A and B are shown apart, each in its own frame.
Chain A
Amino acid sequence: MEYNPMELMICVAARNLEDGATVVVGTGAPCAAAMLAQKLYSPNLCIMFEAGGVAPILPTMPISVGDSRTFHKAIMASSMPEVMETCQRGMVDYTFLGGAQIDMYGNINSTMIGDDYEKPKVRFPGSGGANDLASLCWRTMMMTVQDARRFTDKLDFITSPGYLHGGRSRYEAGLPEGTGPYRIITNMAVMGFDDETKWMTVLSINPGYSRKDVQDNCGFELKWAKKIEDTKPPTDDELRILREEVDPHRYIIGR
């Protein structure tokens, strides 16, 4: 079946969420990925929202991470401290973040563009819970369209921590050991991070793209895994459930 880049990214993301895991998501593509995973691969995936919803059965896509849908038929309608403390205690496996900029260590900017904090050229919403989730969940993922302006070697503002300056700098700053960015899923490729240097490393390339495309659309030098896989395209099953059950109104996949 034909598919668009958003559909591909959601399907690839969903494959990373194993049964029995916990994931905190926001609205949009991450929520779609979690819903798809739950319907297809991981019926016992526990989806959490930062305003307090825990393990809802989502009837439709939420508009807000605190709206009624986020705790529809849930096991708990708890609180923000409850969800954040669960992350801090080490009980949350995954989170997904977005942002305007990302660097080679997986640091993310969702606060501002410009060099003057008091008078930014462009102000974005700010961290919300993004910094908390990136600091406290075990594995952080990102789904984004890849271009050289977004994938930059110098963020205007580090909103949410990746591996900070690489190596052990993340843990030396005081963030919990073993946490950090895990996968960056773009329209062109899937990236992970080198164990030692924590530098962004290409793991697989999506159908229709070349190594050159991936590097040309990145503002810093990428590392390459020893064996580069071909990203598996969305299966018919994935596309059908995504289109018919997860996002029938094409709120996300129609973008």
Chain B
Amino acid sequence: MAMSVHDSDMREELLSGKNELFTDPDPDHARAFFRNKSRSMKPKLANVKDVVRDMIKDGDYIAIGGFGANRIPTAIIHEIVRQRKKHLGFAGHTSTHDFQVLVAGECIERCDVAYIIGLEARGLSPNARRAVESGKIKLTEWTNASLSWRLKAAAMGISFIPTRNILGTDTFGQSAAKVITCPFTGKKYAAMPALFPDFAAIHVHEADIYGNCRVYGASVSDFDLAKASKRVVITAERIIPHDEIRREPEKTVIPFWCVDAVIEVPYGSYPGNMPYEYFSDEEHLKTWLKVEKDPKELEKFLQEQIYGVDNFYDYLNINGGIEKMKKLRAIEYLINNK
């Protein structure tokens, strides 16, 4: 007898998380966008101000590469705050300092949550916590694997991916996932809807002027993020010659056709960690968590560090400049530099 789907399974009510899906998972809508995305290998060097002005509209859904405060594109994050972008959606896939800076700038209106508010072993962000507890930011609940698999579905050009996490929990209840039954085995899965962000910023070690990128160390979800996002800006520690890319093609992890703009930003993950380059500035992050306790102090800090400076280099300079970066390099390289 041929295998058939059990009648009872057919009748079973489709279980569904009750929160809002902030982005459209339809792969044909994404294809319509990608049909017109440029694939020509042309120089894409840009600057932070223009990219943020031209590539992000108020209300867009954005995602940030890296993990926590590791390998984050700080220059782009600060510029979003400086240009006072509003009503943004956000993919909160272990987002810590990036999310907290954007919340301090009141840029985020809705957020897919896996991990926010915490700054890992350093403690919790008082301001992000106030914002979420007041109900100011609309949340839909997910997990790190869920968000990385939602990006993978988008990267694959399909509308969902079946997974075996979040089932049976309130995390599922407050998500926008659905329970489905496998047509081959009858097993239950959570269907993770594809996540196609409007905009992503990813900080990498090396890129050429066309946007072919190299990343060293843990890549988190960034390769799928680059493929899933409609518009992608790369900030890079170093621009390298295109010939270098062609000499060792196996090192390319994000190809040029995913990328819309490339900006050289040395020390670009500061105050976060950049593998094999510099460690995180724990003093700065400690100060951040401290000033966040008092809204007035936070406003003063934002004025001094973000609104009141022209660009990322001014910000680096007021935080110790090259001298500080040398110290952070010594920590990264485990050099006992007294």
Whether A66 contacts B169 by the Cβ 8 Å rule is no
- The verdict on A66 contacting B94 (CB below 8 Å), with A123-B133, A127-B141 known, is yes
Which residues of A lie under 8 Å from residue B218 when comparing CB positions? 49, 51-53, 66, 70-71, 77-79
CB <8 Å contact, A174 and B164 = yes
Interfacial residues of chain B within 150-171, with CB under 8 A of chain A in the complex: 152, 163-171
Task: Given contact pairs A67-B70, A117-B174, A129-B143, enumerate 14 new A-B contacts (beta carbons under 8 Å).
Answer: A51-B94, A64-B67, A66-B68, A66-B94, A77-B275, A78-B218, A119-B134, A127-B142, A129-B145, A131-B143, A131-B165, A174-B188, A174-B190, A176-B164
Nearest CB of chain A from residue B22's CB, rounded to whole Å: 15
Map CB proximity to B onto A68-102 as digits: 1 under 8 Å, 0 otherwise: 10110000011111001001100000000000000
Most buried by A among B115, B117, B135, B144: B144
| Interchain CB contact under 8 A, B171 and A164 | no
Question: A130 an interface residue at 8 Å Cβ cutoff?
Answer: yes
Asked whether A159 lies within 8 Å of B170 as measured between CB atoms, the reply is: yes
Question: CB within 8 A of B167: which of A49, A123, A124, A135?
Answer: A135
Contact of B120 among A27, A60, A81, A161 (CB under 8 A): A27
- The B-contacting residues of A in range 137-165, CB under 8 angstroms, are 155, 157-161, 164
B152 near A81: Cβ-Cβ < 8 Å = yes
Complex-state Cα separation, A31 to B279, whole angstroms = 19
Name the residue on B nearest A50 (C-beta): B144
B72 to chain A, nearest CB (A): 10
Using known A-B contacts A81-B149, A81-B152, A127-B144, determine if residue A66 contacts B168 with beta carbons closer than 8 Å: no
B275 contact set on A, CB distance < 8 A: 68, 71, 77
Query: Which A residues form the contact surface with B (CB < 8 A)?
Result: 27-28, 49-53, 59-60, 62-68, 70-71, 77-81, 84, 87-88, 107, 111, 117-132, 135-136, 155, 157-161, 164, 169-170, 173-176, 251
Q: Is the CB of A126 within 8 A of B115?
A: yes
**Contact A81 to B141, CB < 8 A, known contacts A126-B113, A135-B164, A169-B168:** no
**Cross-chain pairs A/B with CB under 8 angstroms, 22 sampled:** A27-B120, A28-B121, A51-B70, A52-B220, A67-B70, A68-B275, A68-B279, A77-B217, A78-B218, A81-B145, A84-B149, A88-B164, A111-B171, A117-B174, A119-B135, A126-B113, A127-B143, A128-B114, A132-B143, A132-B165, A159-B169, A174-B188
Query: Which residues of chain B come closer than 8 Å to A159, judged between CB atoms?
Result: 169-171
List chain A residues, Cβ under 8 A from B247: none
List of B residues within 8 angstroms of A124 by Cβ:
117-118, 124
Shortest CB–CB separation between residue B271 and chain A, in angstroms?
A: 12
The residue in chain B whose Cβ has the minimal distance to the Cβ of A175 is B167
Contact yes or no, B143 A125, CB < 8 A? no
Question: Closest 10 CB pairs between A and B?
Answer: A174-B188, A173-B168, A52-B218, A125-B118, A66-B67, A128-B115, A132-B145, A84-B145, A129-B144, A135-B165
A234 and B221 alpha carbons, distance in the complex (Å): 40
Q: Which chain A positions have C-beta within 8 A of B296?
A: none
Residues of chain B with a CB closer than 8 A to A135's CB: 164-167
- B residues engaging A (CB < 8 A)? 66-71, 92, 94, 96, 113-118, 120-122, 124, 129, 132-135, 138-139, 141-146, 148-149, 152, 163-171, 174, 179, 187-190, 216-224, 273, 275-276, 279-280, 282, 332, 334
Closest B residue to A155 using CB positions: B170
The answer for the CA separation of A131 and B166 in the assembled complex, in Å, is 6
Instruction: Closest B residue to A70 by CB, please name it.
Output: B218
Q: Which residues of A contact B148 (CB under 8 A)?
A: 79-81, 84
- Alpha-carbon gap, A140 to B216, bound state (A): 31
Q: Provided the pairs A81-B152, A126-B117 are in contact, do residues A173 and B94 lie with their beta carbons within 8 angstroms? A: no
